[in-house]
Amino acid sequence: MALIVQKYGGTSVANVERIRAVAERVAKFKMLGHQVVVVLSAMSGETNRLIALAKEIQARPDPRELDMLVSTGEQVTISLLAMALKDLGLKAKSYTGGQVRILTDNAFTKARILSIDEGNMRRDLDSGHVVVVAGFQGVDADGNITTLGRGGSDTTGVALAAALKADECQIYTDVDGVYTTDPRIVPEARRLKTVTFEEMLEMASLGSKVLQIRAVEFAGKYHVKLRVLSSFQDEGDGTLITFEENDSMEQPVISGIAFNRDEAKITVVGVPDQPGVAYKILGPVADANIDVDMIVQNVGHENTTDFTFTVHRNDFNKTLDIVKAHAAAIGARTVTGDDKIAKVSIVGVGMRSHVGVARKMFEMLSKENINLQMISTSEIKISVVVEDKYMELAVRALHQGFELDKAGA
């Protein structure tokens, strides 16, 4: 007997038929004698619909009220699944995040999980219930409903698996695993049988929406056995996130390509080239709880420098306001913004043992005449920022150029 946490995403619970299909899959695992905790997303499109409603009322919706609103999507699917399970003759009970007591901080719309009370779930599992938990949501110390950021149900799934010391966390979605890149953009993309935890972490952080980054972080921290599978297929091993590196000669240099259209770029022009400038610019941004991603400061000329950084597009206007408000104090000439950018990244632990990967990447992109606005590298990834209309071309060119479409690549 194993304890399994299964998370089903929006398309997997998009309507009543899909919810019944999930119930049948859960029933199969129960019949095999396993204990099952199910974590659900809202029906696909529902979270977007709710956010759009909020924006009709308030251009920048109040974060606490927004969380109150969007958390309802998951409440619909958990209750329906519990009913479907009961209809199949199983014992089942649904819980909101607050009812489990998934305690988070109070950073509405991007809360972090602080602790999970496993008492209720354990009791129900021991009495033969399937426990069905609303993904994406928690509760802060004052009892306010919080949400964990878009795609946050993955994080709920992995966090519950960690708290319950589950044998496996299965993420069911509309693709049958993690691919070399998003198969919607590159149809030749291939499923990876395994991907290292480190690579998955990079891919998620660089925009591969198949897993939310915090879910991967949790899996790493608590050594959760994590697998991505399709809820539309009966068979298949999906992709296993592994902790060991495959150091055989067959280790490909590049494992995957990630991209992200969700960023925007802010440039502070003509800043005095002095110590403390980065701190002065980014301090107020950090104080507003805004994450900064790429940062580039060019070589100063005439004692001034340009300072460019990227933030999530949702934070673009707010960041621009903050930086503009501080521009005079920083001594900057002007502040400009551009939200028509995209970030394209190649990822692979194999890069560690190969030289010239960046050169190859830049050559492939230059052949397509794509201008690189920013570049950043780490041991196992290279990212470039390009104009967003060239993003798909860049991804396809790199996928082909690094031969990721070829089996065994």
Strands 145-147 and 137-139: antiparallel
Residue 23's alpha-carbon distances to 1, 6, 99, in angstroms, are 19, 11, 22
**What residue 67 binds from ligand ADP, ligand ASP, Mg ion, none (CB within 5 to 8 A, per partner kind)?**
none
Q: Which is nearer to ligand ASP, 50 or 323 (CB)?
A: 50
Minimum distance from residue 328 beta carbon to ligand ADP (Å): 42
Q: Under the criterion CB under 5 A, does residue 73 sit at the interface with Mg ion? A: no
Distance, C-alpha 268 to centroid of its chain: 29
Ranges of H-type helices in 233-387: 277-287, 316-330, 357-367
Strands 381-387 and 3-8: unpaired
Backbone angles phi, psi at 387, to 5 degrees: -65, 140
Backbone angles phi, psi at 366, to 5 degrees: -70, -35
Say if residues 227 and 197 touch (Cβ distance below 8 Å).
no
Tell me the number of residues near ligand ADP by CB under 6 A: 18
Q: Which is nearer to Mg ion, 37 or 228 (CB)?
A: 228
Minimum distance from residue 48 beta carbon to ligand ASP (Å): 7
Q: Under the criterion CB under 6 A, does residue 181 sit at the interface with ligand ADP? A: yes
Minimum distance from residue 283 beta carbon to ligand ADP (Å): 33
Q: Which is nearer to ligand ADP, 209 or 227 (CB)?
A: 209
Minimum distance from residue 30 beta carbon to ligand ADP (Å): 22
Give the helix/strand (H/E) hosting 382. strand 381-387
Burial (0-12, 13-18, 19+ Cβ within 10 Å), 359? exposed
Burial (0-12, 13-18, 19+ Cβ within 10 Å), 107? middle
Q: Under the criterion CB under 5 A, does residue 135 sit at the interface with Mg ion? A: no
Q: Rounded CA gap, 212 and 69, in Å?
A: 21
By CB under 6 A, what part of segment 161-180 binds ligand ADP? Answer: 173-175, 178-179
Q: Which is nearer to Mg ion, 146 or 153 (CB)?
A: 153
Minimum distance from residue 371 beta carbon to Mg ion (Å): 32
Rounded to 10 degrees, what is the CA torsion of 107, 110, 114, 118?
A: 130
Q: Under the criterion CB under 5 A, does residue 151 sit at the interface with Mg ion? A: yes
DSSP 47-103: HHHHHHHHHHH-SS--HHHHHHHHTHHHHHHHHHHHHHHHHTT--EEEE-HHHHTEE
Minimum distance from residue 212 beta carbon to ligand ADP (Å): 8
| Choice from 98, 152, 256, 348 touching ligand ADP (CB under 6 A) | 256
- 215-234: string of b/e by CB count within 10 Å (b at 16+)? bbbbbbeeebbbbbbbbeee
Q: Which is nearer to Mg ion, 37 or 332 (CB)?
A: 37
Q: Which is nearer to ligand ADP, 129 or 399 (CB)?
A: 399
Q: Which is nearer to Mg ion, 173 or 180 (CB)?
A: 173
Query: In sequence order, which residues have a C-beta less than 8 Å from that of residue 359 and are 6 or more positions away?
Result: none
Q: Under the criterion CB under 5 A, does residue 152 sit at the interface with Mg ion? A: no
Say if residues 267 and 297 touch (Cβ distance below 8 Å).
no
Binding site for ligand ASP (CB under 6 A): 9-10, 41-42, 47, 73, 135-136, 150-154
Q: Which is nearer to ligand ADP, 11 or 345 (CB)?
A: 11
| Choice from 6, 9, 138, 323 touching ligand ADP (CB under 6 A) | 9
Q: Which is nearer to ligand ASP, 14 or 386 (CB)?
A: 14
Q: Rounded CA gap, 409 and 405, in Å?
A: 7
Each residue 31-70 as x (binds ligand ADP by CB under 6 A) or -, in order, gives ----------x-----------------------------
Which residues contribute to the site for ligand ADP (CB under 6 A)?
9-12, 41, 151, 173-175, 178-179, 181-182, 184, 208-210, 256
Q: Interface with Mg ion by CB under 5 A: which residues?
A: 9, 151
